[in-house]
């Protein structure tokens, strides 16, 4: 069965995205992730990725972290990228993903060493159908972020649309949220890297409540089925909870329509987060690549 390829890259590779987002956010111009203090080994956990046991089954959190360089601040491409490249050894770029996944279609990765050299391209030429990315809240800069990302790396323009999952009456336009905005940019950019010919559909829920996210899941299933099939990707979740089996149909109803659901496993440390733990969903875990 053909499948659109989706990848979750949960580390310093997304500093490029942060640079683009942080410079254009309302307010003080920084995302919540950039302003957070650095933890051990300079890892920053944004507020939207902090897990609380009481949230299980009520509201979901994102599943990404960032690595800082100095003073707890993530590097901004074009300003201190040299420092970033010199001090971080396990980030990935679209070009280097060809080596990680052993994809021979890109010859611009000598030695599989990641580089911030522009216009190096990505690992894939193909893709089909649609990839629906389900996230909470609104990133008003999503299309601009994606276009900037593609231009810098030399990737083809994306067939991209954004849809508000507001048919349940929870909102008219989802409110802006910086932490989820970064997650949105991460998701749509790397989905496009791995399947550049697939249509990218961003489905924004009104909030990170399970009520709104599950409704967005239903909307995403309809949209992907209408495109002839593809993937629905979810980089969010919470701890498992009693009664979660009642929510499983949101991730299985469109299976017969050539649609595959993915969800990030999360970082709870004790089993996969929900919905990744659902038997209807392909569970995707993050990794760190160590090079010799």
pLDDT in tens, 9-34: 333 333 333 222 222 233 223 334 44
pLDDT in tens, 233-243: 999 999 999 99
236-237/61-62 β-pairing: antiparallel
Q: Report helix angle 178-194 to 15-22, nearest 10.
A: 130
User: Do the domain assignments include residue 2?
Assistant: no
pLDDT at 272 over 70: yes
The answer to whether the beta carbons of residues 38 and 72 sit under 8 Å apart is yes
User: Do the domain assignments include residue 290?
Assistant: no
User: Do the domain assignments include residue 289?
Assistant: no
User: Do the domain assignments include residue 191?
Assistant: yes
User: Do the domain assignments include residue 140?
Assistant: yes
Q: How far apart are CA 67 and CA 84, in angstroms?
A: 10
Containing structural domain, residue 42: 12-284
Q: Checking phi first, is residue 147 left (phi over 0); if not, alpha (psi -120 to 50) or beta?
A: alpha
The answer to whether the beta carbons of residues 194 and 96 sit under 8 Å apart is no
Mean pLDDT within 142-158: 96
User: Do the domain assignments include residue 1?
Assistant: no
Q: pTM to 2 decimals?
A: 0.81
Which residues have C-beta within 8 Å of that of residue 45, sequence separation ≥ 6? 36, 39, 65
> What are φ and ψ of residue 256, in 5° steps?
-65, -10
The conformation of residue 70, written as its DSSP 8-state character, comes to: B
- Among 20-34, 84-98, 113-127, 214-228, which is the least confidently predicted range? 20-34
pLDDT at 116 over 70: yes
Mean pLDDT within 77-91: 48
User: Would you state the torsion angle of the CA atoms of residues 130, 284, 136, 197, taken in this order, to the nearest 10 degrees?
Assistant: -20
Domain CATH number, residue 204: 3.40.50
User: Do the domain assignments include residue 246?
Assistant: yes
User: Do the domain assignments include residue 45?
Assistant: yes
Q: How many domains does the chain have?
A: 1
């Amino acid at each position: 069965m053909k499948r659109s390829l989706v990848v979750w890259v949960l580390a310093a590779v997304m500093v490029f995205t942060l640079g683009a987002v942080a410079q254009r956010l309302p307010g003080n111009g920084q995302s919540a992730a950039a302003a957070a203090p650095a933890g051990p080994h300079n890892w920053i956990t944004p507020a939207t990725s902090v897990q609380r046991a009481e949230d299980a089954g009520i509201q979901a959190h994102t599943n990404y972290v960032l690595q800082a360089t100095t003073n707890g601040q993530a590097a901004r491409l074009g300003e201190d990228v040299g420092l970033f490249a010199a001090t971080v050894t396990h980030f990935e770029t679209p070009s280097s993903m060809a080596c990680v996944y052993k994809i021979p279609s890109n010859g611009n990765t000598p030695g599989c060493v990641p580089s911030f050299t522009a216009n190096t391209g990505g690992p894939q030429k193909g893709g089909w159908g649609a990839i629906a990315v389900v996230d909470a809240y609104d990133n008003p800069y999503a299309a601009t972020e994606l276009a900037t990302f593609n231009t810098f790396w030399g990737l083809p323009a994306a067939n991209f649309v954004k849809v508000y999952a507001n048919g349940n009456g929870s909102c008219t336009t989802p409110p802006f949220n910086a932490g989820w905005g970064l997650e949105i940019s991460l998701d749509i950019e790397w989905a496009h890297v791995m399947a550049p010919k697939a249509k990218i559909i961003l489905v924004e829920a009104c909030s990170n409540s399970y009520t709104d996210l599950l409704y967005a899941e239903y909307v995403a299933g309809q949209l992907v089925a209408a495109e002839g099939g593809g993937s629905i990707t979810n980089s969010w979740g919470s701890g498992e909870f009693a009664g979660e089996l009642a929510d499983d149909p949101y991730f299985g109803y469109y299976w017969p329509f050539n649609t595959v659901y993915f969800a990030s496993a999360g970082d709870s440390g004790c089993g996969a987060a929900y919905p990744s733990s659902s038997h209807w969903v392909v569970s995707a875990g993050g990794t760190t690549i160590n090079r010799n």
